[in-house]
Amino acid sequence: MTSMDLVAFDLAWDRLESWLASHSPADHAALRPPAEAGEIAELEGHLGFALHPELRRLLERRNGVVEPERSSGSGDGVFPAGGILPLGHRLISTVDVAEMHKILVDVSEDNAEAELWDEEDLAGHLHQCVPFAVPNDGGFAFVDHRPGPTYGHVFEMGIGSGDLEGTLWGSHLTEFVDAIWHALETGAPFKNYWPTTFEHSSGRTCVEWEIRA
């Protein structure tokens, strides 16, 4: 990957953040500051391999999102700012990436012992997949780090619902981020997810995605 490829990622990410700042400020405010170099190095030490350059750049831009706000006994529930990706996926920090990766390693080892999947299947090399966002149902959005034609591909896998086949969300992070921005900007769907707005009782709003057939 060249420096020009990372310029393209930065442009795509800038467009997405600009849209959030203008149309969903609560979501934009939920984005955490960049990860520090030491945090990224510690994560790579945990993984045992280098991060894909685009995923590294994502963490250099934003180290996940803050936790949803909880009400102080008013009965208003949780304000879910930060779930800007389909299925309510929220960007995660370097610490959470390491923790979520450990779960994928465990799933991969269980599948290997049971011989349920071949190595060429996605579920056969989950130890080489690095999560960058999670929803609330035990799923993952991750970047494939296996050397070869799928290196850098973005997948979503609903492990909590028993889905181990996964869904391709983009051939690389730049493509995925740009597709999310385009959906938000135009109102067009991403896959079968349609961007809409969640209105909280506090009067604030945030991005939400509806599943339509």
CA distance 112 to 106: 10
Q: Where in the chain are the domains?
A: 3-70+80-211
Residue 211 CA neighbour count, 13 Å, CB half: 3
Which residue from 89, 1, 110 is spatially nearest to 51, judged by alpha carbons? 1
The model's pTM: 0.91
Q: In the predicted model, what is the mean pLDDT of residues 87-114?
A: 89
CA distance 144 to 191: 19
Pick the CATH number of 3-70+80-211 from 3.30.1490.20, 3.40.1580.10, 3.40.1350.10, 2.40.30.10: 3.40.1580.10
Q: In the predicted model, what is the mean pLDDT of residues 89-116?
A: 86
**Secondary structure (3-state) at 89:** strand
Higher pLDDT pick, 159 / 122:
122
Token pair listed for 1: 């990957």
Return the percentage of the chain with pLDDT > 70, whole number: 87
Q: In the predicted model, what is the mean pLDDT of residues 18-38?
A: 96
Q: Which residues are CB-neighbours of 108 under 8 A, at least 6 positions away?
A: 123, 124, 125, 126, 127
Q: pLDDT of 29-63, one tens digit each? A: 999 999 999 999 999 999 999 999 999 999 999 99
Q: What does the pLDDT read at residue 74?
A: 46
Residue 157 β-bridge partners: 140
